[in-house]
Structure 1
Amino acid sequence: MDAVGAVATHSDISIWGLFVQADWIVKLVMLALLAASIWCWAIIVDKSMLYGRYKREMSRFERVFWSGQSLEELYQTQSDRPSPGFGAVFVAAMKEWKRSHEQNAASFIGMQARLDKVLDVAINREGDTLEKNLGFLATVGSAAPFVGLFGTVWGIMNAFTSIAASKSTNLAVVAPGIAEALFATALGLVAAIPAVIAYNKLSSDASKMTGRLESFADEFSTILSRQLEARGK
């Protein structure tokens, strides 16, 4: 058996074989892309469950809020463990409302300004929770193909080195190195494609829920403003 035949015989082109035979730099690239892909899927699953819970809790709170139940009764049920979304915004505003009345705040304009500020802070806090870790998806989606491309270039360089060392252009000599290089590219795409799709979907869902929070805050602020005016007369 000649040298080329020996290379062909001992080259394992299975997925595990491509990883084991790869250069250590290409292995690092593959491991990094695999870890990034696993972490992306963990974020995707976690965010999907979180957004589902937010949507259910927000719809449930909205039904109770507009059912005619008094604000004080609703606050008593929500104060200890406010529901995500509307409940957290509502409790934050009601705490400021009650604190201002306990301190006998004289300026209704100042009270309204503080309530609006508290609502903004509560919305931002909920928005941060919804958008947490989405930046990682965006980073992987944009960077993973280039990381995979780096592994591809390095693998092709090794393939050409094998050609020079064996002094043969036979496909059996260059095939393992090229296969390793293309495998790195494939891993980059496997990590990037779901990350991009998930980021677009999840960021859109987060923006919609944040928009619902802002609309609720405006409506609730209007209700509290009417009560302030009624008490000032």
Structure 2
Amino acid sequence: MNSVVLSPAAHLWLRRTRLIALLLLLFGALAGTSLLAGAEPTGAEAVLDQVNATEPAEHQPFGVREMYLQADLVVKSVMIFLAFCSLLTWAVLLEKLLVFGRARRANQQFLQAFRSGDKAALTALAERSAMGRMWQVAQGELQHFRRTAKDRVDADRITRLLQRMALSASIVQERDLARLGSMMGVLATIGATAPFIGLFGTVWGILNSFASIATMRSASLAIVAPGIAEALLATALGLFAAIPAVMIFNKFARDINGFVGGLDNFSAEMLASTSRQLEEEL
């Protein structure tokens, strides 16, 4: 096969063509690089640029006080209401501790006087304790029985007397228990509803955060985080109010049950003592 022999002029033209093509390739590469550098960032780069652009020059404190001040009216109202519920819970705790303490001491003093048979002490302590008030109404029934029965005392009449004494004592007992159980419904209501009230504040705050995203047209953390923090603070306050309320309610519910047991035992002891006394008189 015959080879093609190029002239010197053709070799020169070929070298120039290759050089021009190489220069065009280099120019195209440089132009593409400059276009990429001047293009708008997208994706993760855009988010990072927005975060850097909105990042404050100095560190700003952002505590509970700042979260409350930056919250809107609805979230602030929820926070104030939950704080009031928490204060009310602790106030009920202090009041109940004092009331139950006095009631226990008064019952113990009266029970000691009753078992010792000290009539003067019984009369002096009767109005101070639930057991004393139960004893008073029972003694009233006994005195009425003595005035009306006279010589007609028999087992049937004694049985009816003991029933009336038990009924009168139970009425007084229920009144004292109602006094001890006051504000228990408030504790139960706070314990049951405070978390949901806090959740309402959280949902409202998150809705405001999404609204700020739409308004600012930016999903940067610096814009979203404050609103979410304010929203979560409402939930935290709801739990802070509800958890102690539930624990305090359970404590005093157990105390009331123990108080009821003590009064029931005293009522049985009082009726047994009266029954023995009347049988001895027969």
In which range does the TM-score fall when normalised by the shorter chain? 0.7 to 0.9
2:110/2:129 contact within 8 Å kept: no
Aligned to 1:40: 89
- For residues 11 and 160 of structure 1, the distance between their equivalents in structure 2, rounded to whole angstroms, comes to 22
Confirm or deny that 1:97 pairs with 2:147: no
Judge conservation of contact 1:142–1:192 (CA < 8 Å) in 2: yes
Q: Which amino acid aligns with 2:93?
A: I
Q: Does 1:112 align with 2:162?
A: yes
User: C-alpha distance in 1, partners of 2:148/2:60?
Assistant: 80
Task: Indicate if the aligned counterparts of 2:201 and 2:231 stay in contact, CA closer than 8 A.
Answer: yes
Deviations 1:164-214 (A, max 9, x none): 111111111011111111110110011011111111111101110111001
Task: Work out whether 1:76 is the aligned partner of 2:123.
Answer: yes
Conserved? CA contact 1:89–1:122, under 8 Å: yes
Is structure 2 residue 220 aligned with structure 1 residue 173? no
Rounded Cα–Cα distance in structure 2 between residues aligned with 1:219 and 1:191? 42
Is the 8 Å Cα contact of residues 12 and 18 (structure 1) preserved in structure 2? no
Flag the 1:192–1:186 CA change in 2: closer, same or farther, 3 A. same
Q: AA paired with 2:94?
A: V
Query: How many Å apart are 1:103 and its aligned residue?
Result: 4.7
For 1:127, the equivalent position in structure 2 comes to 177
Distance 1:112 1:210 in 2: 20
Amino acid at match of 1:61: F
Q: Which of residues 80, 87, 93 in structure 2 aligns to 1:31? A: 80
Q: What is the RMSD of the two structures over their aligned residues, measured on CA atoms?
A: 2.3
Letter in 2 for 1:64: A
Tell me the secondary structure at the aligned position of residue 128 of structure 2. coil
Amino acid at match of 2:204: W
Q: How does 1:78-227 map to 2 (within 5 A)?
A: 78-79=125-126, 82-104=127-149, 107-227=157-277
- Contact kept, 8 Å, 1:13 with 1:179, in 2: the verdict is no
Offset of residue 17 of structure 1: 2.1
Match of 1:132, SS state, is coil
Q: 1:149 & 1:12 partners in 2: Cα distance?
A: 25
Structure of higher RCO (CA pairs closer than 8 Å, 6+ residues apart) = 1
Aligned amino acid, residue 226 of structure 1: R
- Greater shift after overlay, 60-69 or 8-17? 8-17
Is the partner of 1:168 in helix, strand or coil? Answer: coil
TM-score (norm 2): 0.73
Partner amino acid for 2:133? A
| Structure 2 residues without counterparts, runs of 5 or longer | 1-51
Higher mean Cα deviation, 220-229 or 208-217? 220-229
Q: Secondary structure at the match of 1:94?
A: helix
User: Any gaps of 5 or more consecutive residues in structure 1?
Assistant: none
Query: Does the Cα contact within 8 Å between 1:78 and 1:87 map onto a contact in 2?
Result: yes
Distance 1:11 1:179, change over 3 A: farther
Shift of 1:74: 4.2
Deviations 1:12-40 (A, max 9, x none): 63222222221211111111111111111
Provide the rounded CA distance (Å) in 2 between the counterparts of 1:51 and 1:3.
62
Relative distance call for 1:116 and 1:13 in structure 2 (3 A) is same
Is 2:110–2:122's contact at 8 Å kept on the other side of the alignment?
no
Provide the identity percentage: 38
Instruction: For 1:50 and 1:204, locate their aligned partners in 2 and report how far apart those are by CA, in whole Å.
Output: 15
SS in 2 for 1:199: helix
Q: Look at both structures and tell me which one has the larger radius of gyration over its CA atoms.
A: 2
One-letter identity of the residue aligned with 1:94: Q
TM-score by length of 1: 0.87
CA contact (8 A) 1:78 1:91 kept: no
Change (3 A) 1:10 1:159: farther
